[in-house]
Amino acid sequence: MTELEAIKAALLRERQARKAAEQVIEERSRELFYANEALRRLNESLEEAVRIRTSELQEAKEKAEHATRAKSEFLSSMSHEIRTPLNAISGLSELIERDSRENEIREYAGIVRDSVVHLLTIINEILDFSKIESGKFSFEPEDFALRDLRNQIYHTYLPLASKKQLRFDVDFDPLLPPVVRSDKTKFLQIWINLIGNAIKFTEQGGVSARLSILRKEGNCLWLQGSVKDSGIGIPEADQARIFLPFEQSEQVSEQKIGGTGLGLAITMRVLELLGGRIQLLSNPGSGSEFIFQLPVQVGDENRVSQEKSDDKNENLLYGLRVLVVDDMEMNRFLMRKVLQRVHAQPTFAENGAMAVEILRNESFDVVLMDLHMPVMNGREATRLIRSEQIPRANPRIPILALTADAFKHTQESVLEAGMNDFLPKPINIDLLYQKLRGLL
Ligand code: ADP
């Protein structure tokens, strides 16, 4: 074979090899194309499946949120409905207890009032729990004096402990700072739940509450509180369970000792919210001790509102001209009695529109304004009074809102509407007098 023929043959082989390679490439490309197509279709159907699932989930989430909101609103309105008649029951029994000359009658009135307080505790626990569940439980810090808190706890529980002939002491370490910054209402709630339980489950001996400093971390002070009793104790098998909602220890549910089973669940969530924790030491038969730790800030004494020394002086309300606006006859009757006790002069209106009408013609020192009323509610009436559009009425007259709605946002909304302060129902008579003096 000549050299030329050899080159030709090599070229031919090369061409054939290239053709074969091209064919393979073409085949592979086709396969790749089909595989790609299949992948694209799969991707599309996956995206569609994800889209459908996401929208189903979204719908389910919206339904759940709606149900939670509806439940919260239902609880809020039920609590409002229950508190409204309780206001009259509690207020009138308090008046009877204070003013009656007959011991027996005073005793009956005291029992009625204790029952109202008990009922209110249950309503508040259910409301708090629903707020925790719907994520509406928030941390609201303020500066407060520990001595006031200690006294409040002591005076709230001393009568209950004395009734059961239990020793009761509340010992706050003198080394504690006078003022701390934390959520006072929730801090108090922890004590109330623990001490309330301790007294409830103790028949002999006593209950002691203590608070001291655990350690200092920069600006933050870790406090340790404890509530110890000599009561029935808690069997080991129940010690974890009782912190769950609606759970009670075997013996308590067997003996049908009352309670919602929510107090400790709320206490634990409140402590978590404040950044703290709780432990339980208990010997069944000889008592229990609940120990909690929580961080607070050292507070500023200047930011604590000092109660005026004349706060107890009811004479200051003598002759006070008060316009009471409330649609419930029972509540107007109660207010008449409460105000007449301190020789104030009440006038009454059944709704906001009537109140505005009365303010056109008469002058007053203060208005006590219910919120939910027919024709014109308390917020609308307040806005109208503040708008300076009512001839002869004083647009800056102090207005104190009274409402059975226990929610914090209600308190904020009444201030936004232009009212000066807020008093929850059932009213505490001393607090009403104190707020009235504060407004003058
Ligand atoms: P409630 O007291 O309304 O039942 P809690 O959540 O406050 O609900 O308490 C749950 C349970 O824990 C109680 O029912 C009781 O069995 C038990 N418990 C709580 N505190 C004590 C205590 N100091 N002594 C004995 N048992 C207690």
Exposure string (b/e) for 375-399, b if CB count within 10 Å is 16 or more? ebbbbbbbebbbeeeeeebeeebbb
Rg, C-alpha atoms of the chain:
35
Ligand 1 centroid – CA 67 distance (Å): 30
Q: What is the DSSP string of 219-264?
A: TEEEEEEEEEE-SS---GGGTTGGGSTT---HHHHHTT----S-HH
Per-residue confidence (pLDDT) for residue 103, from 0 to 100: 85
Q: Return the amino acid letter for 409.
A: H
For residue 272, how many other CB atoms are within 10 A of its CB? Answer: 13
CA distance 142 to 301: 11
Please answer whether residues 99 and 341 qualify as being in contact, where contact means their C-beta atoms are separated by less than 8 angstroms: yes
Per-residue confidence (pLDDT) for residue 69, from 0 to 100: 78
Asked whether 234 lines ligand 1 (CB < 6 A), one says yes
| For residue 51, pLDDT beyond 90 | yes
What is the position in ligand 1's atom list of the atom closest to the CA of 265?
A: 6
Per-residue confidence (pLDDT) for residue 307, from 0 to 100: 46
Summarised one tens digit per residue, pLDDT across range 155-196 is 888 888 999 999 999 999 999 999 999 998 889 989 999 999
Mutate to test the pocket of ligand 1, among 248, 255, 268 (most ligand atoms within 8 A of CB): 248
Q: Which of 418, 364, 367 is nearest to 388 (CA)?
A: 418
Q: Give the tokens for residue 323.
A: 């316009």
Asked whether 289 lines ligand 1 (CB < 6 A), one says no
Q: Give the tokens for residue 195.
A: 């001490």
Ligand 1 centroid – CA 261 distance (Å): 7
Please answer whether residues 71 and 134 qualify as being in contact, where contact means their C-beta atoms are separated by less than 8 angstroms: yes
Q: Which helix (H) or strand (E) holds 324?
A: strand 321-325
Q: Which helix (H) or strand (E) holds 403?
A: strand 399-403
Per-residue confidence (pLDDT) for residue 275, from 0 to 100: 92
Q: Which helix (H) or strand (E) holds 210?
A: strand 206-217
Cα dist from 82 to 68, 79, 116, 400, whole Å: 21, 5, 11, 22
What is the position in ligand 1's atom list of the atom closest to the CA of 251?
A: 16
What dihedral do alpha carbons 79, 85, 87, 92 form, nearest 10°? -160
Asked whether 331 lines ligand 1 (CB < 6 A), one says no
Asked which of 4-8, 109-113, 133-137, 285-289 is least confident by mean pLDDT, the reply is 133-137
Question: pLDDT tier at 124 (50, 70, 90 boundaries)?
Answer: confident
Cα dist from 49 to 42, 58, 231, whole Å: 10, 14, 60
Asked whether 261 lines ligand 1 (CB < 6 A), one says yes
Ligand 1 centroid – CA 434 distance (Å): 35
Q: Which helix (H) or strand (E) holds 197?
A: helix 184-200
Per-residue confidence (pLDDT) for residue 408, from 0 to 100: 66
Asked which of 60-69, 116-125, 152-161 is least confident by mean pLDDT, the reply is 116-125
Asked whether 249 lines ligand 1 (CB < 6 A), one says yes
Asked whether 227 lines ligand 1 (CB < 6 A), one says no
What average pLDDT does range 408-412 have in this prediction?
73
Asked whether 207 lines ligand 1 (CB < 6 A), one says no
Q: Give the tokens for residue 325.
A: 């606006």
Mutate to test the pocket of ligand 1, among 192, 242, 253 (most ligand atoms within 8 A of CB): 242
Q: Whose CA is nearest to atom 14 of ligand 1?
A: 248
Q: Return the amino acid letter for 399.
A: I
What is the position in ligand 1's atom list of the atom closest to the CA of 266?
A: 6
Summarised one tens digit per residue, pLDDT across range 25-45 is 999 999 999 999 999 999 999
Share of the chain above pLDDT 70, in %: 96
Residue with tokens 């569609």: 48
Question: pLDDT tier at 131 (50, 70, 90 boundaries)?
Answer: confident
**List of residues 6+ apart from 355 with CB closer than 8 A:** 323, 325, 349, 367, 369, 381
What average pLDDT does range 356-374 have in this prediction?
92
Please answer whether residues 151 and 238 qualify as being in contact, where contact means their C-beta atoms are separated by less than 8 angstroms: no
CA distance 350 to 164: 44
Ligand 1 centroid – CA 335 distance (Å): 37
Asked whether 196 lines ligand 1 (CB < 6 A), one says no
| For residue 405, pLDDT beyond 50 | yes
Question: pLDDT tier at 390 (50, 70, 90 boundaries)?
Answer: confident
Strands 277-283 and 167-172: unpaired
Asked whether 248 lines ligand 1 (CB < 6 A), one says yes
Please indicate whether residue 199 or residue 283 has the higher confidence score (pLDDT): 199
Please indicate whether residue 439 or residue 305 has the higher confidence score (pLDDT): 439
Q: Whose CA is nearest to atom 2 of ligand 1?
A: 259
Summarised one tens digit per residue, pLDDT across range 256-315 is 677 778 899 999 999 998 999 999 999 888 999 999 999 999 988 877 755 444 445 557
